[in-house]
Amino acid sequence: MKQRPICIITEFLENGCLLNFLRQKMGRLTKECLLAMCQDTCEGMEYLENNGFIHRDLAARNCLVSEKHVVKVCDFGMTRFVLDNEYISSTGSKFPVKWSPPEVFHYSKYSSKSDVWSYGVLMWEIFTEGRTPFENKSNPEVVDEITQGHRLYKPYLASRDVYQVMYSCWHEVCYLLLAKLVFLSVLFNSIK
């Protein structure tokens, strides 16, 4: 698996990119629909983690939406297969700062934990209907803010429980993705 390239075939999803979909449907999607989109993505990330992959670029721009509003994770350009649940990026590699945890921008260290952080930001994107995280901040400002413990604000459409799930993804000491996904799945079912 390490020597041969991996080929990924994805299905055509009628509604295209999640980010554009959220912006186009602003104000017309129910909170239940937004929560279902989060759960779909959670299940997709669980699948990747169970098969030894770290996505490294989870964001609304990298998810697709079906005709029935089912969300699927895509854009695997930065995805890596790992045997020990950790990947150290080469120095100078570009990465999505506003979706990344401190260990990525300080140490270039990726793991399923960094995907959990990005998942929290994706939830935030969904519940803000496609806003850009830290939209008025430069990448260096975001690094400083995250390092100082600042996190994204609670979106208007997110309940306190949903925001608590988001916020739990942004703890610097985070559990393995699978443990988080089990927690998120239980919480999603209790919120519905």
Residue 56 in any domain: the answer is yes
Question: Which amino acid would we find at residue 124?
Answer: W
Residues (pLDDT < 50) of the chain are: 1, 77-90, 175-176, 178
Q: Where are the alpha helices (DSSP H) in 18-158?
A: 18-24, 31-50, 102-107, 112-127, 139-147
Residue 4 in any domain: the answer is no
CA-CA distances (angstroms) from residue 93 to 14, 77, 147, 185?
A: 33, 13, 20, 33
Catalytic residue list contains 144: no
What element of type H or E holds 16? strand 16-17
Name the active-site residue from 40, 57, 115, 144: 57
172 in Cβ contact with 191 (< 8 Å): no
Q: Which pLDDT score, from 0 to 100, does residue 133 have?
A: 97
The terminus-to-terminus CA distance of the chain in angstroms comes to 40
Question: Which amino acid would we find at residue 93?
Answer: S
Residue 2 in any domain: the answer is no
Residue 6 in any domain: the answer is no
Domain count, the chain: 1
Residue 159 in any domain: the answer is yes
Residue 5 in any domain: the answer is no
Can you give the CATH number for the domain in which 185 is found? 1.10.510.10
Q: How many helices (H) and strands (E) in the chain?
A: 7, 7
CA 110 from centre of chain: 13
Residue 38 in any domain: the answer is yes
114 in Cβ contact with 174 (< 8 Å): no
Show the domain range for 82. 16-191
Residue 11 in any domain: the answer is no
The β-bridge relationship of strands 109-111 and 86-88 is antiparallel
